[in-house]
Amino acid sequence: MSQPLDPASVEQLTKELDSDPAFRLARNAVTTTPVDQVALDRDVVSGVDHSMSHLLDDWAATDQKKSGRCWLFAGTNLLRVGAAQRLSVKDFQFSQAHLLFWDKLEKANHWLESILATADRDVDDRTVAHLLSTPAEDGGQWNMFAALVRKHGLVPQRAMPETQSSSDTGAMNRSLSRLLRRAARDLRGLAADGADETQLQAAKSEILADVQRLLAVHLGTPPQMVTWQWRDTDREFHREGELTPQQFAERYAGVDLDEYVCLVHDPRPTSEPGRTYTVEHLGNVVGAPPVVYLNADIELLRRLSMESILAGEPVWFGCDTDRMSSVPLGVWDAHLYDYDTVYGTKLGLHGLDKAERLMHQDTLMTHAMLFTGVDVVDGAPTRWRVEN
């Protein structure tokens, strides 16, 4: 039976709190200072060491600014390591705006196909409602990055530089979302009226023409050819002439994206280790291999990441970055904040384990980055360098 909040119990607890010196100290501190500063564990901070036994990065950091393109930046940052070596230059960047344009256009097509596939369901169906809530997100996965590079190639950043909207995608995404939701209404209406596949695809093509125009307004038009020339670190000049984005990717990315596997650690009882998993309606390029995750033990992920760095290759990874991190200190540490002491209850490591956090919607992957260094002691990784 449901019970209302008991005023007498609230009053009693208030009296107990007022008589508790630890509570009064925490209240006085947190009402005048951000709680993360109060909870910051000074013992952990004083033990921070940024040195690494194995370090790869010797290049300028990139900046996604006010956008959700972390997965594209992490992907192009991984590929630029080999590109800089092949070009004999100290630093190099592929165009992130180029991939953003194609990702948005491909995602719009993928999303509209999902709308058509669910057109026979009620608009308040959970899947349809989810699709309508997220028509134009920036985020993505490794398989989606690989699909874009395979189909649309790569260009140097100077061939399609950043724009205001690539660096701050909010306004573009709002306009695109309105366009796509209107399109969903129209396509669902056509389907309800008995339109056949040919008619539905024709209507979708008209919608995609509007999407492409909107994206070109915000991001510019991707180049069909790149005239490529550069000067290397020895001051020697090189001229390659004209290359398509696909040719540029093949020549300078230098890796077979089909050889990469996305490993995850999902310890929930329902997620069997050694099996692959996917997410319905997640993707961008229709017809490309689906987004697939291979569930593996966390120690295997650590070992393979270490071995990759020791072999000279950074590692694309994603995690929940909203926990136990300090941007000013440049630190992630599971013990960085002592929330348990501040609040007098179990909020830190003593609250939920990883499986419980996943099951109760307390965590999810929020950001993609690169491992570019590792500190190895007695053959085991002890800490990691992250290019954010």
Residues belonging to the active site? 70, 367, 388
Distances 237 to 91, 253, 313 between C-alpha atoms, Å? 16, 20, 27
What does the block give as tokens for 129?
């409602």
Instruction: Write the single-letter amino acid at 179.
Output: L
Distances 2 to 5, 58, 59, 146, 360 between C-alpha atoms, Å? 10, 61, 60, 51, 22
**159 backbone dihedrals φ, ψ, rounded to 5°:** -75, -25
Which string of DSSP letters, residue by residue, matches 102-131?
Answer: HHHHHHHHHHHHHHHHTTTS-TTSHHHHHH
Residue closest to 59 by CA, chosen among 90, 94, 96 = 90
Is residue 119 a contact partner of residue 184, using CB atoms and an 8 Å limit? no
Is residue 344 a contact partner of residue 23, using CB atoms and an 8 Å limit? yes
What length is written for the chain?
388
DSSP 194: T
Residue 267's Cα: distance from chain center in Å? Answer: 21
**140 backbone dihedrals φ, ψ, rounded to 5°:** -170, 180
CB neighbourhood size of 4 (10 A): 5
DSSP β-ladder status, 293-295 and 263-264 = parallel
